[in-house]
C-alpha cells in the first residue's frame, strides 16, 4: 500500500506540470479543454518507454517532489482553469522567497562547501520546528503561503513520498531552482508574466 501511495505521489507533480503546459496560454480555457489536457497529460506519463512508463523514468530524476512544489502546481492549475485565484501576488512572492532561503541554507552546505550538512537536520525535529514558526507568521499576517507550509508539516508527519527526511517535504531541486530565478527577477525588478488584477474578494478586501 505504501509503495502505491509513493508511486501516485511521484506521478502527481509531473502530471500537474503537463496539464498546465497542455492547457496552453488561453487565460480562460474551457472545462472541456482542461479535462482533455489533464487526461492527455496522464496518458503521456503512462506511455511505456522500454520496461517502464515515462512517469517511472521521471521519478528517477526526482523521486520525491516536495509537497511545496506539488501544492503550488495544484494552485496554479486551479487558477489556470478560471477558478478563484487562491494565491495573490504577495502569496507567490512569499513562496519564491521562502524557497530561495531554504535552497541557500540546504544546497551549498549540503554539497560540501562547509563541514556542516543541514540535510541531516531533516531526520530530527529541527526542520518541523523551524517550519512551524514561518507558517504561523504567514497565517497571522494573512499570507496564504502559510497554508502550504502547514501541508508540508502534515507531510513531515505522514510523508506521502519515499523519503522520510523533512527537507524533502519542504523543498526539491526544481522548486529551489525556480525560486532562485524568480527571486532574482523580483530583486532586480524584472517584470514577470503579467496577470489580471485580483478582485476585491481575492485581495481579501471584501
Q: Calculate the average pLDDT of the chain.
A: 87
Give the pairing of strands 48-49 and 52-53.
Answer: antiparallel
pLDDT at 112: 62
Distance CA 70, CA 147 (A): 13
C-alpha cell at 164: 522520510
pLDDT bin (cut points 50, 70, 90) of residue 113 is: low
Segment 37-66, tens digit of pLDDT = 999 999 999 999 888 889 888 888 888 899
Helix (H) or strand (E) holding 41: helix 31-45
pTM above the 0.95 mark? no
Distance CA 33, CA 91 (A): 27
% of the chain residues with pLDDT over 90? 58
* C-alpha distance from residue 34 to each of 29, 139, 155, 195 (Å): 7, 31, 28, 19
- Backbone φ, ψ for residue 6 (5° rounding): -60, -40
Segment 121-139, tens digit of pLDDT = 999 999 999 999 999 999 9
Amino acid at each position: 500500500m505504501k509503495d502505491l501511495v509513493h508511486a501516485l505521489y511521484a506521478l502527481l507533480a509531473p502530471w500537474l506540470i503537463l496539464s498546465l503546459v497542455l492547457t496552453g496560454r488561453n487565460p480562460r480555457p474551457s472545462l472541456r479543454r482542461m479535462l482533455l489536457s489533464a487526461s492527455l497529460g496522464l496518458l503521456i506519463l503512462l506511455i511505456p518507454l522500454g520496461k517502464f512508463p515515462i512517469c517511472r523514468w521521471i521519478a528517477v530524476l526526482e523521486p520525491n517532489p516536495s509537497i511545496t512544489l506539488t501544492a503550488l502546481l495544484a494552485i496554479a492549475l486551479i487558477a489556470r482553469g478560471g477558478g478563484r485565484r487562491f494565491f495573490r501576488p504577495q502569496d507567490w512572492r512569499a513562496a519564491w522567497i521562502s524557497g530561495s532561503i531554504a535552497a541557500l541554507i540546504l544546497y551549498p552546505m549540503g554539497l560540501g562547501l562547509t563541514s556542516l550538512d543541514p540535510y541531516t537536520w531533516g531526520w530530527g525535529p529541527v526542520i518541523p520546528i523551524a517550519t512551524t514558526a514561518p507558517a504561523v507568521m504567514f497565517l497571522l499576517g494573512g499570507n496564504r503561503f502559510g497554508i502550504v507550509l502547514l501541508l508540508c508539516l502534515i507531510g513531515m508527519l505522514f510523508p506521502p513520498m519515499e523519503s522520510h527526511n523533512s527537507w524533502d517535504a519542504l523543498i526539491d531541486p526544481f522548486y529551489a531552482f525556480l525560486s532562485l530565478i524568480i527571486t532574482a527577477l523580483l530583486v532586480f525588478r524584472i517584470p514577470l508574466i503579467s496577470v489580471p488584477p485580483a478582485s476585491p474578494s481575492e485581495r481579501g478586501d471584501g
